[in-house]
């Protein structure tokens, strides 16, 4: 596996998008339906359909249709117009996960002046 300069990992698979014409036509038609539904919903809100029990259910049904159409638009867009990319994360060593510096990986020998080590442990900015 070739290591790239990317900190997130290496790209293992990249397939360009299909960009099919029927999907583009379907997205355009669903967008037109979406605009009509939003217009009907807005008209219903302005005219006070939500004040009656049946009108409130009608507005809720229109709002559900709006979100369903939007979900189909997004699903078609993701499937047909976004590339299929698989990125495998880089494996990190355990000492990188606990935020240990590279020079501290092997540890330190205990020095003669143990009080200096205790002071640096208690107050990390002591003499740095």
- Separation between Cα atoms, residue 120 and residue 45, nearest integer Å: 66
Domain segments of the chain as ranges? 10-106
Residues contacting 109, CB < 8 A, separation 6+: none
pLDDT tens digits, one per residue of 5-37: 566 667 677 778 778 899 999 999 999 999 999
pLDDT tens digits, one per residue of 54-68: 999 999 999 999 999
pLDDT tens digits, one per residue of 57-113: 999 999 999 999 999 999 999 988 888 777 676 666 665 556 666 666 666 666 667
Which two tokens mark 116?
A: 């200096």
Q: Residue 84 belongs to what H/E stretch? A: strand 84-89
Half-sphere exposure at residue 91, Cβ-oriented, CA atoms within 13 angstroms: 3
Neighbours of 41 (CB within 10 A): 19
- Separation between Cα atoms, residue 79 and residue 85, nearest integer Å: 12
Classified as helix, coil or strand, 128 is coil
- Separation between Cα atoms, residue 107 and residue 114, nearest integer Å: 15
């Amino acid at each position: 596996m070739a290591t790239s300069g990317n900190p997130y990992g290496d790209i293992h698979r990249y397939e360009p998008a299909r960009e099919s014409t029927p999907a583009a036509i379907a997205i355009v038609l669903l967008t037109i339906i979406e605009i009509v539904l939003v217009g009907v919903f807005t008209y219903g809100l302005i005219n006070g359909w939500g004040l009656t029990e049946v009108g409130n259910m009608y507005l809720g049904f229109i709002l559900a249709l709006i979100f369903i159409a939007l979900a189909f638009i997004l699903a078609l867009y993701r499937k047909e117009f976004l590339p299929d990319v698989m990125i495998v994360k880089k494996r990190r060593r355990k000492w990188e996960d606990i935020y240990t510096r590279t020079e501290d990986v092997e540890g330190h020998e205990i020095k003669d002046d143990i009080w200096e080590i205790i002071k640096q442990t208690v107050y990390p900015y002591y003499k740095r």
